[in-house]
Amino acid sequence: MSSQFSLRTRRNEFGQRRGLFTGFDHWLSGAVIGLLGLGVALVYASTRQWFASNGLDPQYYLKRHIVNIIIGLLLAFGTTLIDYRLLRAYTPIVWGVGVIGLIIVLIPALGSTVNGARAWISLPGGFQIQPAELAKISIIVGIAMILAEKNDHNSYPSNTDVMKALLVAAVPMLLIVSQPDLGTTIIISASVVTMIAVSG
C-alpha cells in the first residue's frame, strides 16, 4: 500500500515538473530551433574564410553567435515564468527605457553605427544592444493592453483607444526612423496595423 502511494506521489511530482513545458507550442518551438540552427550554420559559413585568411580565429563569430543564442533562450524561458499581469504593470517602464535608449544611440559619443544605422549601444566584452528591440516589445505589449481594455457593452476599441495605441507606437518609431532603421520601422508598422485591424 505504501509503495503504491509512493509511486503515485512520484508520478504527480513528475507531472508537475513536466507541466512547465506543456504550454509550449511544439511546432513553433521546433521552427525556432530550426531557424537558430540555420543561423549558426550561415554565420559560420559566411565568416570563417575571411577570419582564417586574415590569421584570426575562424570560429570567432560562431562562438559569439552561440553565446547570444544561449542568452536569448534563457531570457525567453525566463519570460514564460513571469505572470502576464506583472508584465503589464512594468510595460510603461520598459517603454520609457526603450525610448531613452533610442535617444542615447543618437548621441554620437554613445551610439555606434552598424550598416549605416546608428542603432546600437556598445557594452564591455564586445557585446552590443539595440534599444529598438526593447521598444518593439513594449510597443506590442502596450498596444495590446490599450486595445484589450474595452467596455463590457462595446466589443470594439474606441477611436480614443486607437489614437492612444498609435501614439504609443509613434514616439519610438520617429526615433527609429531618424537612425535610420527602415527595416525595424516596417516591422513595427506592420505589427501595429495588424493588431488594430484584428482588434476590430
Classify residue 42: in a domain, yes or no. Answer: yes
29 and 102 co-located in one domain: no
| Count of domains for the chain | 2
193 and 171 co-located in one domain: yes
71 and 108 co-located in one domain: no
How does pLDDT run across 89-112, given as a tens digit for each residue?
Answer: 788 888 888 888 888 888 877 777
136 or 55, greater pLDDT: 136
The parent domain of residue 163 ranges over: 84-200
61 and 126 co-located in one domain: no
74 and 88 co-located in one domain: no
45 and 120 co-located in one domain: no
CB neighbours (10 Å) of residue 63? Answer: 11
Q: Percentage of the chain with pLDDT > 90?
A: 0
60 and 147 co-located in one domain: no
Find the range with the poorest average confidence among 10-19, 99-108, 125-134.
10-19
59 and 93 co-located in one domain: no
10-34 mean pLDDT:
63
Classify residue 1: in a domain, yes or no. Answer: no
42 and 119 co-located in one domain: no
47 and 30 co-located in one domain: yes
Classify residue 104: in a domain, yes or no. Answer: yes
- Using pLDDT thresholds of 50, 70 and 90, give the confidence band for residue 18: very low
- Phi and psi, residue 68, nearest 5°: -65, -40
Residue 10 has pLDDT above 60, yes or no: no
Classify residue 16: in a domain, yes or no. Answer: no
Classify residue 196: in a domain, yes or no. Answer: yes
Residue 83 has pLDDT above 60, yes or no: yes
How does pLDDT run across 48-72, given as a tens digit for each residue?
Answer: 888 778 777 788 888 888 888 898 8
Classify residue 100: in a domain, yes or no. Answer: yes
Classify residue 116: in a domain, yes or no. Answer: yes
Residue 9 has a pLDDT of: 46
57 and 110 co-located in one domain: no
Task: Write down the H helix ranges in the chain.
Answer: 2-18, 26-53, 60-80, 84-105, 131-148, 159-177, 182-199
Find the range with the poorest average confidence among 9-18, 81-90, 165-174.
9-18
Question: ω into residue 58 within 30 of 0, thus cis?
Answer: no
- Using pLDDT thresholds of 50, 70 and 90, give the confidence band for residue 23: low
164 and 67 co-located in one domain: no
Residue 154 has a pLDDT of: 59
Average pLDDT, whole number, for the chain?
78
CB neighbours (10 Å) of residue 138? Answer: 23
Classify residue 5: in a domain, yes or no. Answer: no
Nearest in space to 104 (alpha carbons), one of 92, 115, 93, 118 = 118
Residue 132 has pLDDT above 80, yes or no: yes
